[in-house]
Every structure is written in C-alpha cells, then in structure tokens.
Amino acid sequence: MTFHIDMIKNSEPTIHDIARELEISASTVSRALNDNPRISLKTKEKIKAVAISLGYRPNTLASNLRNKKSNTIGIVVPLINRHFFSSVISGAEDVAFKAGYNVVISQSNDLADKEINIVQSMFSNRVDGLIISIAMQTNTFEHLKIFRKKNIPLVFFDRAVPEIETDKIVVDDYAGGFRVAQHLIDQGYQRIAHLAGTQNLMTYFDRKNGYIEALRKNHIPYDESLVIINTLTSNEGVSAVQQLMSLKNPPDAIFCGNDTTALSAMIYLRDKGIRIPQDIGIVGFSNEPFSKVVSPSISTIAQPGFQMGQKAAELIIRQIETKERTFQTIVLATELIIRESSSRKSF
C-alpha cells in the first residue's frame, strides 16, 4: 500500500513546501511572496506560480508572532445590536479594512466583568490597537490603563474614561442635553423631567448638566425629584415614568436619556390615555431608526455613529503607524431632530 505525499501530510502548505518543490530556500520564498527587491523577477514568478498551484495561504499567526503585530484592531461595544453602536462598528470596520486591518468585535453587554475579560483576551491576542466604548457598569480601569502603560494604541469613543489620556471621540453631550431642554422650554413645557443614565459615564453626566444649565438660563428652578437615574433599559423607562407620574406635581415633559426609554415611556403613557405631545412632551437621544417611524415620532438627538467609527479607526491607525503620541479629543456636533413627540406648538 502506497501513499501519495499529499495524503500523508494533510496540513496546510507552507513556504517550506514551496521551497522544497523548487529546491530553493524558504527565505527566498518568503522574500518573493513579500515582493522583496532582492529576489529576481524570474524567481518570484516561479515561486508565485507554485504557491498558487499548491493552494498556499500564508499563516498569519506565524507572521504576526514574528512581526509582533497582528494587523488586527479590537472593538468593544456595550451592545452590538444597538443601532448607534453597530453604525460605529460599520464605520470603523470600513476604514480599518481598507487600511489592511482586520477587526475583532466583542460586546460587553454593559457588564464590567465581561469587559475586563474581553479586553484582556484582546491584549493576549496582541491586537494592534483597541477601540472601546466602556460598559455602564465599569468603574475600575486598570484593564485599560495597561494599554497606555504598554503604549498600545487605545481610542475611546462615545463613552470615554476621563482619567485615561488618549485619543477620544465623543459627541457634545452637554450641548445635546442643553438643546433638548431649551427646545422643550421653547415649546412651552414648564416642568421638565430627566431620565438619566448612570452618572459615572461622562455622556450621561454631561447630558444631565446641559439640561440643568438650560433650566438655569431660563430661570426654571431645578427640582431633583424630576431627575431619575438608572440604566435606561426599556423596563426601567416604564418604572421611571410611573415614579414621575405619581409625584404630587408631575412633569409635563420628559427628556429621556435614550430612545429606548423614550419609546417605552411613550407607550406606557399612551396606554394610560395621556396624549403626547399635548399633555406630555417627550424627547429621546441617539436617533435610533425606530424613533423616526413610531407614532408619534420621537424628537431626539442624532449622533453621527458611522462617522464616529470612521474617525475612531483613523485615530487608532495613526497611533499604530506613527510613534507619535499627541492625543486629541474630537467632539462631534449633535443635531436636534424635532419630531412630533415634543411639538406641542403645532397643536
């Protein structure tokens, strides 16, 4: 019984196999495949032909190990199936791919433990850089500081960590919050509640402060009982509204920290026979696709997710490909999109 060579070793062909076939050295093969000028055109052509005929595909693991570079960018988001985040991913993936990088995506589910786990795993996989929007729950940052310590490129988007100095790309949440509140005031609403996210995240912190500032500017007293802080899930939107409506002096408008809670609040109120925007005005945040098409459509703040992702990828690639470390914080403008849920004056 005889075996053909191909049957004995069923593993992938390597540069050594190509070298053996042509009776040359593996170094030459490696150089040829990388278009090194030290190899003659004739040899290169022969080598490439054999590579194709053997179905050779380079083992990037070996290459990465040797080069101490993985050509991979890690992206960590709280939740993949949030339109804003998946848009950011799309944008980043787009730029990274064109620049020759692979992208590894993971979601933290807004859990600190999972985030730490993911980030460490990406580190072990030697990603060339990490783009991250931190989880709501995260309140220690050692797993991220290590990237700075080891000088591994790191870029925050949307949810950044103030105490870590690196490139950041965020939206102007303060202005966003301000504009929402001002808009509601302009529409004649008087008691404006705010459903805020966890305050350890600058995004939610800033939105709230923008809101407070708008009240102040308009000489509306700030009432703490009108501000509820939670993690902004659909269910929490409902319970927050329940709490607000049971106040002796309930609000006539609610600035919700995101569109998800805006929607759940709206549905709850509608079921209670409360009219929107006539009885209560609602504004969300993030411009999720559904906010445009629900009835009534939800006023909200648009964040340029795709663009943010593109920019984040550009920044990380700059960090990767230059040694220079002059960090910048890019603040993207937001846009207030006025829709039905807060347009009382048209009634």
Positions touching DNA (CB under 7 A) are: 11-12, 14-16, 23-28, 30-31, 33-34, 37-40, 42-43, 56, 58-59, 62-63, 65-68
CB of 175 to a copy of itself, least distance (A): 25
Smallest distance from a copy of itself to CB 339, Å: 13
Where residue 229 falls (left for φ over 0; alpha for ψ -120 to 50; beta otherwise) is beta
* Residue 333 touches which of a copy of itself, DNA, none (Cβ within 5-8 Å per kind): none
* Residue position matching structure tokens 């629900």: 294
Q: What minimum distance in Å lies between the beta carbon of 185 and DNA?
A: 59
Q: How far is CA 248 from CA 87, 245, 253, 286, 289, in A?
A: 42, 8, 15, 31, 35
Nearer to DNA, 27 or 139 (CB): 27
**Rounded CA separation 124/311 (Å):** 25
**Bond before 58 cis per omega within 30 degrees:** no
- Residue 104: name its binding partner from DNA, a copy of itself, none (Cβ under 5 to 8 Å by kind): a copy of itself
The residue among 68 and 345 lying less far from a copy of itself, judged by its C-beta, is: 68
343 binds, among DNA, a copy of itself, none (CB under 5 to 8 A by kind): none
The minimum distance between CB 60 and a copy of itself, in angstroms, equals 5
Q: Which is nearer to DNA, 125 or 278 (CB)?
A: 125
CB of 3 to DNA, least distance (A): 17
Rounded CA gap, 69 and 91, in Å? Answer: 23
Strand arrangement, sheet containing 192-196:
227-229, 192-196, 253-256, 281-283
- Do residues 162 and 327 lie in contact, with contact meaning Cβ atoms separated by under 8 Å? no
Residue for token pair 């590579």: 51
Are 44 and 32 spatial neighbours (Cβ–Cβ below 8 Å)? yes
Q: Which residues bind a copy of itself (CB under 8 A)?
A: 11-12, 55, 57-62, 64-65, 68, 70, 79-81, 83, 86-87, 89-90, 93, 97, 102-107, 114, 120-121, 123-126, 146, 150, 263, 289-290, 293-295
What is the sign of the dihedral through the CA atoms of 55, 58, 60 and 61?
A: positive
Q: Which is nearer to DNA, 34 or 295 (CB)?
A: 34
Name which of 38 and 219 has its Cβ closer to DNA: 38
Separation between Cα atoms, residue 306 and residue 92, nearest integer Å: 8
Minimal distance in Å, beta carbon 182 to a copy of itself?
Answer: 27
CB closer to DNA, 31 vs 344: 31
